[in-house]
Amino acid sequence: MASLNINLPPSITIPNSFSLSSLSHFHGRQLSLSSTLSSSLPILPHSKTIFIHGTNNFKTTQFSRNCSLIPPTSIPSQSPFVQHDDNLFIVVNFYHFVFIKDPQFEVSRHLFVLQELDIHGRIYINEQGVNAQFSGPSRDALAYVKWLRDDQRFTDILVQISPSSIGHAFPRLKLRYKPSLVQFDLGVQDLPLLDPLMRAVPLSPAEWRTRLKSINNNHDTANANDKNCILLDVRNGYEWDIGHFEGVQRPEVDCFKSTSFGLSDEVTDLDPLVNIDKEKTHILMYCTGGIRCDVYSTILRQKGFKNLYTLKGGVSNYLQKEGPDKWIGNLFVFDSRLSLPPSTFKPGAATTSRSQEALANNKFAKCYICGSQVHELRHRNCANLDCNLLYLCCRDCVGELRGCCCRDCKTAPRLRPVLFQHERYKKWHLYRDSEVREEISTLN
């Protein structure tokens, strides 16, 4: 496995004093002074500010010990694409279920480290663990991973890394306490996520690949387990639209948080888990990085399903280890890149003949507007700010409707410009102010 050596300087310069009190807002939240802070404080450089994001509390606290923020070290990379370039931008994803006694204080610890690093993304922390997706120069992104792994609670986290040719893949850093690490309509706060026996059994990418081959060829084999096996995609339906494993049906849900497979006794063709033998049927589920499967498998376990398996590390881990075998199309990701081909995770990996055949036969990746084949496997947002629908669209319809999802949106009052490739929409006031300036310029 290739590795990246990050040689940090002997000491990172840290100011003797730092205060957020001069700022009226931080990441959109009003700051207020508070005299309350956890009594158990981390060992940090003196005169640093602790900000508890999500409770609007912060306090400048004195520390007498001197230390470097991140010591000189070599940080191994788990991804073969990473080059020896500190300025290479990467996207890092990881999650970890572990008991955190004081999550608000944990947020303050992470903020202390991150304020010295060029990192954008979403990092959520609560009593059940952490869920993170962020981007930054490899030097900074991996330094944060190294700092986290130095904590014995997080030494075994599985980190997913992919390159970002567009620089930061997130607009800003959002670090906060969040009651649910994953959004789900029924709530996940009371789920026993910390008990690994309640979650699905993780299969390595190699084991998953073997099971997929067995499922595809097995209906006339003697393996009873494989004859009674269901392959379940627990992602959003629009994720399936640009890529999925062979033989998996499209999830009949707009988004994961409203998934209800196996939760109702009502007989419906849309639920593959209705009327199955909960004792004997093997359910293999997958998602992008694994956390949704862990959450949903815990719900199914409580409903009496016995044989639950998940793809360890999700599709991103599979594509890195096994390449695109049994995978069709691209992988949807929740950042500005939106869509990644398998070669992103395993350089040089060629698209399989089955994947090419599926695309040629128009089996998926259809235009939301006209139903024709979409050759660019990447979603876009409707140019109508008040719609903002995420959808697939062919080039002809993009041009005809000026980036909108329908003719009604084309005539909406707040239209943004047509975007192509990896551009990202900006805040509406920037377009509005631009139009005002153009009008003034015209009058003059």
Whose tokens are 């070669």? That residue is 343
**Is 107:52 a contact under the CB 8 Å cutoff?**
yes
Q: What percent of the chain has pLDDT over 70?
A: 70
Q: What is the pTM of this model?
A: 0.76
* pLDDT per residue as tens digits for the range 325-353: 999 999 999 998 999 999 999 887 766 66
* pLDDT per residue as tens digits for the range 255-276: 777 777 777 766 566 778 888 8
What pLDDT is stored for residue 93 in this prediction? Answer: 97
CA 2 vs CA 9, 60, 81, 83, 376: distances in Å: 23, 42, 8, 9, 31
What pLDDT is stored for residue 15 in this prediction? Answer: 31
Rounded to 10 degrees, the C-alpha dihedral 366/370/375/376 comes to -90
Question: What CA–CA distance (Å, rounded) separates 240 from 257?
Answer: 15
Question: What CA–CA distance (Å, rounded) separates 344 from 79?
Answer: 10
Instruction: Tell me 412's DSSP state.
Output: -
Q: What percent of the chain has pLDDT over 90?
A: 52
**Is 293:314 a contact under the CB 8 Å cutoff?**
yes
Domains of the chain: 25-177 (3.30.70.100), 196-321 (3.40.250.10), 380-436 (no CATH)
**Is 234:182 a contact under the CB 8 Å cutoff?**
no
Whose tokens are 């470097």? That residue is 68
- Which of 262, 266, 130, 278 is closest to 186 using CA atoms? 262
What pLDDT is stored for residue 347 in this prediction? Answer: 85
Whose tokens are 């981007």? That residue is 135
φ, ψ for residue 209 (rounded to 5)? -60, -40
- Which of 366, 205, 197, 391 is closest to 286 using CA atoms? 205
* pLDDT per residue as tens digits for the range 79-124: 554 555 677 999 999 999 999 999 999 999 999 999 999 999 999 9
Active site residue 287: yes
Listed as ranges, residues in the chain with pLDDT below 50 are 1-78, 81, 219-226, 440-441, 443-444
Residue tagged active-site, from 67, 229, 255, 287: 287
Per-residue three-class SS string for 285-345: EECCCCHHHHHHHHHHHHCCCCEEEEECCHHHHHHHHHCCCCEEECEECCCCCCEECHHHC
What pLDDT is stored for residue 153 in this prediction? Answer: 95
